[in-house]
Amino acid sequence: MNYDVENIKNAAIAEVEGASDLKQIDDIRIKYLGKKGEITQLMKTMGALPADERPAFGAIVNSARGAVEDALNAKKAAMESVAIQNKMLSEKIDVTMPGVKPVLGSVHPLTKVLNQIKQIFVGMGFVIAEGPEVEKDYYNFDALNIPPTHSARDEDDTFYIDGFDDVLLRTQTSSVQIRVMEHQKPPIRMVAPGRVYRSDAVDATHSPMFHQIEGLVVDKGVTMADLKGTLSDFVNNLYGEKIDVRFRPHHFQFTEPSAEMDISCPNCGGKGCNVCKGEGWIEILGAGMVHAKVLERCGIDPNVYSGFAFGLGLERIAMRSLGINDLRLFYENDVRFLNQF
């Protein structure tokens, strides 16, 4: 009997020695010391012994159990300390290493100029409005007094949405004028920046997607003088007091009268240079008094109210402001370019 105990104990300790992970240690514990474990079972055979032999046998089994437990605990502790050691080695940090500098992003130049423009108009009491880029032709054309036969509706200029003959990618932010006037009665003073789309081939000055900023003011007694004053102020805020403006008669379907506004060339001060192509002036926006038919269609009485509107191209202004001669740079997002702003 005692011989068996010794054998089992030795076998258990040998297994513990050979164990190579914590799972094996657990398995060995169960195999020998668990409820049905070999050493636990030995204890149960004690009842078959004569009463006077039981205490001695019990002591032997208990000491075997203790020896196996000690071996298991020691092996487990050794394994855990090796694991911690390895973890510490693999996670070692050299605190003397120079830090990795995070790369700082920058605001996109178009966003930067747009923010400047928005700030100027908000300072004058305008609110920022928004409209959808996927638009119904009613808002992009009809309501702006652009009849179905007008060349701007030509498929060549406009992207229509497949499967619809009345849904398109807006070609101008002027559509937002209509959406605002439909829901808001005068006084209205809003600017609506956003993307517009035209089927143009890409080159240094054209892109099938670009940005416009629309402006609209409607109230009682608004005149062309308000238009001129507001837009001159805007230009002086953006480019400085030295810049002059001039208005040239023009035609837009949705304004009457209509005008284009030029600014004196910020590069040469009006003498003529390669930026203004020797003209001394640069065109920056279209504008005019909102056409009576447009007001009427939005339920605003043109006998009571009048208004002016304008639309400017963000890329053009940003190119002038930042001295950039190729529009494509704005969309390529080369960080060497973007980091300069």
- For residue 262, state whether it binds ligand DAH (rule: CB under 6 A): no
Nearer to ligand DAH, 198 or 320 (CB): 198
Nearer to ligand DAH, 12 or 181 (CB): 181
**Which part of the chain contacts ligand DAH (CB under 6 A), choosing from 57-65, 91-99, 101-109, 280-288?**
280-288
Determine which residue in the list 131, 186, 286, 307 makes contact with ligand DAH, applying CB under 6 A.
286
Structure tokens at 271: 């003498």
- For residue 266, state whether it binds ligand DAH (rule: CB under 6 A): no
At its nearest, how many Å lie between ligand DAH and the CB of residue 143?
A: 13
Determine which residue in the list 284, 288, 295, 324 makes contact with ligand DAH, applying CB under 6 A.
288
Nearer to ligand DAH, 15 or 214 (CB): 214
**Which part of the chain contacts ligand DAH (CB under 6 A), choosing from 77-85, 131-139, 155-163, 283-291?**
283-291
- For residue 311, state whether it binds ligand DAH (rule: CB under 6 A): yes
Nearer to ligand DAH, 28 or 287 (CB): 287
Q: Looking only at residues 160 through 189 of this chain, which bind ligand DAH when binding is defined by CB under 6 A?
A: 172, 174
Nearer to ligand DAH, 194 or 311 (CB): 311
Rule CB under 6 A: which residues touch ligand DAH? 172, 174, 214, 252, 255, 286-288, 309-311
